[in-house]
Chain A
Amino acid sequence: MNNRRFAKHYCVMLLPGLIWLFFFSVVPMFGLVIAFQDFNPGAGVLHSDWVGLDNFEYMFALGDSRTIFFNTIFIAVLKIVANLIVPLVFALMLNEVRLKVFKRWVQTIVYLPHFMSWVILSGILLDIFAYTGPVNQILSVFGVKPVLFFARADLFPAIVVGSDVWKEFGFNTIIYLAALTGINPSLYEAAAVDGATRLKRLWHVTLPGIGSTVVLLAALSLGNVLNANFDQIFNLYNPLVYSTGDIIDTWVYRTGLLDLQYGLATAVGLLKSVISFILIALSYLLASKFANYRIF
């Protein structure tokens, strides 16, 4: 049926969203020229002096840049790997449970941390890992001397990755559980008739059944390689752990908005945006190629 006559109505429907998009997404993209300027907020984008690639040269000369790119990638990659594996194992365990009511309760509880903000969770974590907090008390039972966790640069990445997995693993199981329900039950019955044990059914039926989902999620997570989660790190870090915990986003925030080095911060931000864009586009491409995924 030809409904082209409704196009006018469709445009009206889209208008509010497109105006919103224009002012808060498109206009800031033009603001990226700040990366090539000696930006002066008083003069604005239009009247600031052009400095060409000076900001980028300065960035590459700066020791900080290497540290923050390394920290970002290190933390982000650890998170990606952990957030693929832990939810998978958890989903497989949950899938083996026969008590429906119990399963639902567990699901409801483990999804909950996902909906808490990092401000709240950091407040809780700082308390739990405090010098006199529960974690140190438990450690002291085993004869370990109290640790000042948030002053230890060597422990910081582990704390960040661990708490991220704790917050997100439940929510991340949703997609695996959906894939698990898609496996044809007659496959399990056939395997059982053939004498396959539970472990063998897991290995030969369940895992191949959700293999494509794992591949899809792995491909899509490529886009997160430069995303170490600002909200979390910003609320957990302090200058004592900058050497391992300072990431691109936190550095850009401090350099740009606190130290007012607009041009430099924008240049670093631009580099991050461009690399991220390439990675995300690549991840969609891989996902569509290997897992038949389409965004829409």
Chain B
Amino acid sequence: MVRETTFGSRAFDLLLVVVLALIALACILPIWYTLAVSLSQKSAAAAGLVHLWPVGFNFNSYKEIMGDHKFFHAFGISVERVLLGASLSFAVTVLMAYPLSRNPRDFRMRNAIMWTLVFCMIFNGGLIPWYETVKTLGLINNIWGLVLGNSVPFFNVILVVNYFRNLPKELEEAALVDGAGPWYILFRLFVPLSVPVLATVTLFMIVYHWNEFFNGLVLTSTVDHYPLQTYIQQLVVVIDTQNMTEDQLKKLTELSNQTLNAAKIFIAMIPVLVVYPFLQRFFIHGITLGSVKE
């Protein structure tokens, strides 16, 4: 890379670092602010005195949540959903991606199935027919409705298919010569060689199932079946304001329990904050390689 040492160039570098640091700050400040509110005194938060540091530092909100059975029940449902949903999606993604990465000469149906998959990805029946289908299948108020609800993870399958197609052909040919079958090649060769993309799709699946609230809202009818995001959406975020006036809206925001809500929101962020750093070093690599085609 070319380096320049003129004064103007150096000044530009400095300015750049400052601007980028400010932008990065703008990305985490809202999260930081929520943490600060959750650790503040209720009165201070309601009066708008909390800025970047908790005012009247205490753990009362978190203690209150500790006694909230419904919150932890919803948390448990979300954990169950993530474990079931991510492992099932992972298994299906790997199993579908391998045959679909084959040459159509070896697997004639490959292109037809691939186009079916793409068609289903870009055309859907819409909300009502989908809801009626899930209802007919008896998956309302059922964890499997949440796990299976959004059909095959198309995007992840295509990402892995493209990654598999870019693996060196020679390795596979060598394995075939040694008498390996398709299952052996997939699990002993392709899967270990595809750690970056598999880590990426795993991150996507975990985050998807943890964050998804709409299926939780539509496919469950009582609080007992809500996953955490739906619970928060219904009890914290939603302003059920049919026919509400501006003044009422204003009063509502003043009355709401800011510190407790902030604590709930922060707890709901923790799993993503924990998983993210471990998997993030993979995903840049995984996404870009998975999307490159020969």
Asked if A28 and B129 make an inter-chain contact with CB atoms under 8 angstroms apart, the answer reads yes
In the complex, are the beta carbons of B151 and A24 less than 8 A apart?
yes
Q: Are A124 and B293 in contact (CB under 8 A)?
A: no
For chain A, the count of residues having a C-beta within 8 Å of the partner chain is 111
The answer to whether A17 and B95 have CB atoms under 8 Å apart is yes
A145 on the B face (CB < 8 A): no
Stretch at the interface among B56-64, B65-73, B229-237: B229-237
Interface residue? B223 (CB, 8 A): no
CA distance A192 to B269 in the complex (A): 47
User: Which of A93, A110, A262 has a CB less than 8 Å from the CB of B19?
Assistant: A93
Q: Is the CB of A151 within 8 A of B277?
A: no
Given A192-B2, A240-B249, residue A273 in contact with residue B229 (CB < 8 A): no
**Nearest-Cβ distance from residue B246 to partner chain A, whole angstroms:** 5
Q: Mark A40-82, 1 if CB is under 8 A from B, else 0.
A: 0100110000000000000000000000000000000000000
Report how far A273 CA is from B126 CA in the complex, Å: 7
B169 to chain A, nearest CB (A): 10
Which chain B residues border A243 with CB–CB below 8 Å?
none
Chain B hits for A239, CB < 8 A = 241-244
Contacts of B116 in A (CB 8 A): 21
How many angstroms between the C-alpha atoms of A106 and B28 in the bound complex? 11
In the bound complex, residues from chain A placing their C-beta under 8 Å from that of B137 are 23
Contact check, B127 vs A256: say whether CB atoms are below 8 A apart. Answer: yes
Q: Does B284 contact A (CB under 8 A)?
A: yes
- Whether the Cβ atoms of A198 and B132 lie closer than 8 Å is no
Most buried by B among A23, A201, A294: A23
A265 in contact with B127 (CB, 8 Å): yes
- Looking at chain B, what size class is its interface with the partner chain? 35 or more
CB < 8 Å: which of A102, A119, A151, A252 contacts B229?
A: A119
B13-38 interface code vs A (CB 8 A; 1 in, 0 out): 10011011101101110110110010
Tell me if B288 and A175 are in contact (CB < 8 A): yes
Residues of B within 8 A of A137 (CB): 48, 51
B253 within 8 A of partner (CB): yes
**Contact between chains at B123 and A277 (CB < 8 Å):** yes
From B4, B127, B230, B293, A296 is in contact (CB under 8 Å) with B293
Give per-residue flags for A3-28: 1 if the beta carbon is below 8 A from chain B beta carbons, else 0. Answer: 11011011101101110110111111
A120 and B265 within 8 A (CB):
yes
The answer to whether B181 has its CB under 8 Å from any CB of chain A is: yes
Evaluate contact between B120 and A113: CB separation under 8 angstroms.
Answer: no
Indicate if the CB atoms of A26 and B120 lie closer than 8 Å: yes
The digit string for B84-115, where 1 denotes a CB below 8 A from any CB of A, is 00000001110110111010011111000110
Q: Which of A21, A126, A133, A272 contacts B237 (CB 8 A)?
A: A126
Are B246's CB and A252's CB within 8 A? no
| Cβ contact of A106, chosen from B21, B109, B211, cutoff 8 A | B21
A-B contact pairs, 22 of them (CB 8 A): A4-B108, A10-B182, A11-B109, A28-B124, A28-B129, A32-B126, A34-B132, A97-B16, A102-B17, A110-B23, A110-B27, A111-B280, A112-B28, A118-B213, A134-B33, A166-B26, A174-B288, A234-B214, A256-B127, A265-B128, A280-B122, A296-B161
Question: Taking beta carbons and an 8 Å cutoff, which residues of A are in contact with B?
Answer: 1-4, 6-7, 9-11, 13-14, 16-18, 20-21, 23-32, 34, 39, 41, 44-45, 90, 93-94, 96-99, 102, 105-113, 115-128, 130-134, 137, 148, 150-151, 166, 170, 174-175, 177-178, 185, 188-189, 191-192, 198, 201, 223, 230-231, 234-235, 238-240, 249, 252-253, 256-257, 262, 265-266, 269-270, 272-273, 276-277, 280-281, 294-296
Query: Told that A25-B152, A296-B158 touch, could you supply 7 new A-B pairs with CB distance under 8 A?
Result: A7-B107, A27-B133, A109-B27, A117-B213, A122-B237, A126-B237, A269-B127
**Nearest 7 CB-CB pairs, A to B?**
A31-B129, A269-B126, A28-B125, A117-B211, A10-B99, A132-B48, A24-B151
